[in-house]
Amino acid sequence: MQPKELELIARQVRLRDLQAVYEAGAGHIGGEMSVIDLLTALYFRTLRVWPDQPKHPDRDRFVLSKGHTACALYVVLAKRGFFPEEEVATFLKPHSRLNGHPNCNKVPGVETNTGPLGHGLPVAVGMAKAAKLSGASYHTYVITGDGEMQEGSNWEAIMAAAQFGLDNLTLIIDHNRFQQGAALSDTNNIAPLRPKLEAFGWDVSEINGNAMAEVVPALEHRGSKPHCIVAHTNKGHGISFMQDTVDWHHKVPNKQQYEIAVKELSEAL
């Protein structure tokens, strides 16, 4: 798919994600809106996957380390054909397999359970190293939050990836500048990220993570080192009153806010 087609799908995903969070009465909508363009480009263009064979041995691996944005992943997986789109309506309901964090034992297309921050990248390094050891051709991608990059386990994994020469690994940092309760700059500001990753021996691309024309080529980059994409995004992207507002890390719109958001997202379709 071309960027324009991907942009349309991303807008559809945003609208469905908003509806699911509103109906469930819970969710991490701000970070979901910021990461949706990245997820859409991955699943509808970049990843080599077979929705009817979610455990195909040649599939590319994807880890959503910022697992609290699971609803966005569920909407994308359903739209891609991993399970019926109607099932998104069960998000967070009793006995639903669509929980607040992804579960690989329940949801087709989920590679590993995530939620505790700082775990996804180390797991992805293991997946990439396993491919090197076995001679497998799959590529491993992982998305972390920028606040999550404060976790020391990530930097241990970054060192290991460079040491092992994991050119089959792509780390995408959703750099929306906010974490739960505060701006990144007010907690433990790890920006700028690019020079830090480069100092650890990685190739680094710095892009607008909400612009498909920049997302697509960055995801398709291949070099001789592990690759990090610092994706500058907007928390709550696409919804005026949510954008770049820390309150919307974990918050549900009321009826009036929901109607405004639906109108804004629908007009963009």
Mean pLDDT over the full length of the chain: 97
Q: What is the DSSP string of 221-234?
A: ---SS-EEEEEE--
Specify the pLDDT at position 268. 82
pLDDT grade, residue 75 (50/70/90)?
very high
Question: CA torsion, points 192, 198, 204, 208, in degrees to nearest 10?
Answer: 10
Q: How far is CA 74 from CA 24, 146, 166, in A?
A: 14, 21, 28
Distance CA(109)–CA(79), nearest Å, equals 12
Coil vs helix vs strand at 204: strand
Q: Are 209 and 175 in contact (CB under 8 A)?
A: yes
Residue bearing tokens 């990530």 = 154
**Which tens digit of pLDDT belongs to each residue from 199-257?**
999 999 999 999 999 999 999 999 999 999 999 999 999 999 999 999 999 999 999 99
pLDDT at residue number 200: 98
Rounded Cα distance between 228 and 172, Å, is 6
Percentage of the chain beyond pLDDT 70 is 100
Quick one: 102 exposed, middle or buried, by C-beta within 10 A (0-12, 13-18, 19+)? buried
Q: Which helix (H) or strand (E) holds 103?
A: none
- CA 79 – CA 9 distance, rounded (Å): 9
Domains of the chain, earliest start first = 3-267 (3.40.50.970)
> Over the stretch 125-172, which tens digit does the pLDDT of each residue have?
999 999 999 999 999 999 999 999 999 999 999 999 999 999 999 999
User: Cis peptide leading into 192, omega within 30 of 0?
Assistant: yes
Beta bridge partners of 206: 230
Average pLDDT over residues 75-82: 98
Helix, coil or strand: residue 246: helix
Read off the tokens for 224. Answer: 């001789």
Backbone angles phi, psi at 119, to 5 degrees: -100, -30
Identify the CA nearest to 29 among candidates 230, 178, 154: 178
Q: What is the pLDDT of residue 269?
A: 83
